[in-house]
Amino acid sequence: PEHEEDDGLAVQTGKPELQPPARYQVIMLNDDYTPMDFVVEVLEVFFMLNREKATQIMLRVHTEGRAVCGVYSRDIAETKAAQVNEYARECQHPLMCQIEREA
Ligand code: TYC
Q: What is the C-alpha to C-alpha distance for residues 5 and 82, in angstroms, rounded to an integer?
A: 43
Predicted model pTM: 0.85
- What is the pLDDT averaged over residues 69-82? 98
The more confidently predicted of residues 15 and 82 is 82
pLDDT digits (tens, 9 = 90+) for 10-59: 778 887 788 899 999 999 999 999 999 999 999 999 999 999 999 999 99
Side chain identity, residue 95: L
pLDDT at 6 > cutoff 80? no
Q: Is the ipTM of this complex over 0.90?
A: yes
**Residue 36 in contact with ligand 1 by CB distance below 6 A:** yes
* 71 φ/ψ angles, rounded to the nearest 5 degrees: -130, 130
Which of ligand 1's atoms lies nearest the C-alpha of 36?
A: 5
Residue 8: per-residue pLDDT = 65
Q: Report DSSP letters for 5-60, one per residue.
A: PP-SB-TTT--BS-PPPP-EEEEEE--SSS-HHHHHHHHHHHH---HHHHHHHHHH
Using the mean position of ligand 1's atoms as its centre, give its distance from the Cα of residue 37 in Å. 9
